[in-house]
Structure 1
Amino acid sequence: MSASTSDPGTLRIAIQSCDATYGCAPDDTLLGAGLRAGLGIPYECGVGACGTCKFELLDGEVAALRQDAPGLSARDRAKGRWLACQSRPLGDCVIKLRLDEAAKPVIAPRRRRANLLAAIPLTHDITEFRFRADDGADFLAGQYALLALPGVQGARAYSMSNLANGEGEWHFQVRLVPDGAATGALFTLSPGAAIGLDGPYGMAYLRPPDERDVVCIAGGSGLAPMISVARGFARQAPPGRSLRFFYGARAPRDVCGEALLRELPGYGERITYHASVSADQDGGWPGHRGFVHQLVDEVLGSGLADCEIYLAGPPPMIESVEALLREVHQVPPERLHYDRYF
């Protein structure tokens, strides 16, 4: 693949041993530009936390956007490894990394500006932010975008809760993090405020729901991508297929999502909602008490092995659910889809 020559400022990035080169603008990342060129560069979080997009710099110079990125260990740094999602080229470069056909983007990410339309509270600390860009919103159910927020250094990853649309609307359901720079900026935006939006990203998108029933398991602001997957299921799934939606919350006031699912055709029949609360101090919660993976096991048990399963939530929840699915019920890894939250 040849580097783009349409922009005289485009730099040439060559990937050693796989006969691939691509163009990268000086203000773009090696990961973003590679995915925009259609290359299968493995990645997950997009914000420097997971380390999936590590590469070796063989020639040239790059600048690190996040010097303390946890995705690189001290050993990685000593060996001259970098993160493609946090590296901008300072000139033409030669890098070493493995390409993966499975990581090739179905929809190449694009950078755009978007304006805030509305902020709609869902719970005491989760709000849905609706943005609109000038072009269509093209993404797969379950994917995320990188938001560049005013006054915040570095992009932040947030999952879309809606579906692709020609109106250019991108909806995000975000939990307010105490003293969080990004959510602090996001929650103080006024309608009309502009942000940078780069997307779509993510591999945990809805696969065609033709052959298996679907299970969505969410915790916290992991609600957003699971709502998107449920909406995609309601639109795409053939008759006879079902979706079970599980939500894990700390306290009763944190429980959410059912009202959004009630809007979907088939709710109460082929789409059902189950919630669990892990800390009910007042004893007023009438539903399941405990962790969400325990509820999933009680409801579906061995039937999980026959389902397509999507997860989104905090790392402890993901780890517990993954152990249940892989170790107890032997769910094949190709039927388990999630992007880790950091």
Structure 2
Amino acid sequence: MVHPVITNERDGTRFEQAPGDTLLRAALRAGVGLSYECNSGGCGGCKFELLAGDIETLWPAAPGLGERDRRRGRHLACQCRALGDVTIKAASGPEYVPVRAPRRRRAVLTGSADITHDLREFRFRAEGEADFLPGQFAMLDLPGLASSRAYSLANTSNGDGEWHFQIRRVPNGQGTATLFDHLQPGAEIGLDGPYGVAYLRTDSPRDIVCVAGGSGLAPMISIARGAAEAGMLGARRLHFFYGAREPRDVCGEAMLAGLPGFGERITYCPVVSMPGDGGWTGATGFVHSHLPAALPAPLARYEFYFAGPPPMTQALQEMLMVDHRVPFEQIHFDRFF
């Protein structure tokens, strides 16, 4: 079978697109570092211009493209497939080249457990090693849905083929409705991964700060677990902040408590933005505003990882870079939509 060949005019790279792949997934599978973040049409990090050839768009209304982008003829590599050989102009860089090559596999749901009223952990098992970096995500192909869904991993790489996801139920969300209401243990799905560039940097000498909001808990728990497994917390500390809307949304402490050094090398601080009158005695407000006072050293001395809703990640990034002059190389984040 002859596969379409994609040429990126900007850097001269060429790669083939296998059946079922988008332009972005084909590039990453081939070891080509096209720019991206979410891989699911929300962030716009994989915008490109089509210079020659024909493509099909899987999600024309993807929010990652604004009206100005559409008028200028831009597309999203994560939502487009080539219908033949094409030439594109897309941003790329070595930082996007996958450290672990993503691949497709079949995975079986082995069980699930509630974390909060709307957050649940789903555990899948696939053949072979589950090879990914702490903080990465995978694309799940769920029954009855036309497009893949991106979910972050909560566990760490293992030889047992275990892939664990902590997923928040989205009102009227087709993906989470399938997972929460219809998928039963023993069900088989498609799993493609790993993806993501906000993974744990084990070579950093700095103390670690993890900030999670909503289902951003999963990659931050993965990073905390990965740091502990790598022996990074013997000489370093890990400060974990969780931003919750209501007291009933607070979670994560029990998972961290199982790691060596919890309470000494690992600290946990939940922050609730809408405490109500239910007797919440912890920190209140927006989670990012608590970092300057809660952290013992100037913020520029830390390595930051965060994941959560776009307003949280945007406010946190701006505060770190503008107000505290934290170098961009020390900031690693995912945006969830």
2:4 paired residue among 8, 11, 19: 11
**Residue of structure 2 in register with 1:166 after alignment:** 159
**Residue of structure 2 in register with 1:3 after alignment:** none
Q: Deviations along 1:279-338, whole A, 9 cap, x unmatched?
A: 121241121122211222221165221000001111121122223212222111110110
One-letter amino acid of the counterpart of residue 199, structure 1: G
One-letter amino acid of the counterpart of residue 283, structure 2: H
**Residue of structure 2 in register with 1:324 after alignment:** 319
**Residue of structure 2 in register with 1:259 after alignment:** 254
2:95 match: secondary structure: helix
Q: Does 1:183 align with 2:176?
A: yes
**Residue of structure 2 in register with 1:212 after alignment:** 206
The number of aligned residues is: 335
2:29 paired residue among 29, 33, 36: 36
**Structure 1, unaligned stretches of length 5 or more?**
1-7
Q: Distance in 2 between matches of 1:318 and 1:65?
A: 27
2:73 paired residue among 67, 71, 80: 80
Q: Distance in 2 between matches of 1:325 and 1:82?
A: 30
1:136 paired residue among 117, 129, 144: 129
Q: CA deviation at 1:272?
A: 1.1
Q: Deviations along 1:239-287, whole A, 9 cap, x unmatched?
A: 2211000111111111100000011111111011111111121241121
**Residue of structure 1 in register with 2:228 after alignment:** 234
Q: Distance in 2 between matches of 1:316 and 1:18?
A: 33
1:157 paired residue among 147, 150, 153: 150
Q: Does 1:294 align with 2:317?
A: no
Please tell me the root mean square deviation across aligned C-alpha atoms, in Å.
1.4
Q: Distance in 1 between matches of 2:304 and 2:58?
A: 34
TM-score when normalising by structure 2: 0.95
1:312 match: secondary structure: strand
Q: Does 1:200 align with 2:201?
A: no
One-letter amino acid of the counterpart of residue 12, structure 1: V
Q: CA deviation at 1:238?
A: 5.3
Q: Distance in 1 between matches of 2:103 and 2:219?
A: 19
Q: Deviations along 1:101-127, whole A, 9 cap, x unmatched?
A: 111111111111111011111111100
CA contact (8 A) 1:243 1:271 kept: yes
Q: Does 1:25 align with 2:18?
A: yes
Q: Does 1:271 align with 2:261?
A: no
CA contact (8 A) 2:31 2:101 kept: yes
Identity, in percent, stands at: 56
Q: CA deviation at 1:228?
A: 0.2
One-letter amino acid of the counterpart of residue 274, structure 2: A
Q: Distance in 2 between matches of 1:96 and 1:16?
A: 5
The worse-fitting range, judged by mean Cα deviation, of 127-136 and 94-103 is 94-103
Q: Deviations along 1:124-171, whole A, 9 cap, x unmatched?
A: 110000011112111110011111111123111110000011111111
1:117 paired residue among 110, 113, 130: 110
Q: Which runs of structure 1 show a deviation greater than 6 angstroms over 4 or more consecutive aligned residues?
A: none
Residues 90 and 69 of structure 1: is their aligned pair in 2 closer, same or farther, counting only changes over 3 Å? same
**Structure 2, unaligned stretches of length 5 or more?**
none
Q: CA deviation at 1:74?
A: 2.6
